[in-house]
Copies of this chain bind each other. A is one copy, B any other.
Amino acid sequence: MSAEWKLNSHLASDTVNIGDLPLSRVLIIKDSNYPWLLLVPRRAGASEITDLNEVEQAQLMTEINRVSLALKDITKPDKLNVAALGNMVSQLHVHIIARRTSDAAWPRPIWGVVPAIGYDPVEMDAFKTALRKKIWLD
């Protein structure tokens, strides 16, 4: 764990950076099918939640709660989906997705169901600003 943490290149190219919480980088996935965020703990070499120590795990839960509440408040979803999978990209990352019963994949999980649709730049900017404000990243 002595190496420096660096965001995985696939995660970097699929996302817009919102800012850093004490443990995790907060990212928006560039897919307007769903309001879809990632939390990426800045710990080199971590691929599982169990790779974090107890303090980091507690902090990750705090950040999941904080970001979930912000996403919920902004998007008023029918359900949140929270998941650490990592089958394609092993760098530990937690998906937080606002689901609607009218969305493209409902009630299935979203992964691999429909191709990503890019954001309108104005819409992305508004989402980013609202999130930064609600998560207290400003």
- A residues contacting B by CB (< 8 A) are 47-50, 54, 57-58, 60-62, 64-65, 68-69, 72, 79-88, 90, 99, 106-109, 111-112
CB-defined contacts of A60 to chain B, threshold 8 Å = 61
Q: A61-B60, A99-B87 are in contact. Are A49 and B108 (CB under 8 A)?
A: no
Q: Nearest chain B CB to A34's CB is how many angstroms away? A: 12
For A65, list chain B residues within 8 Å (CB). 49-50, 54, 57
Q: Which one, B68, B81, B86, contacts A87 given CB within 8 A? A: B81
> Are the CB atoms of B81 and A83 closer together than 8 Å?
yes
Question: CA A60 – CA B60 in complex, angstroms?
Answer: 12
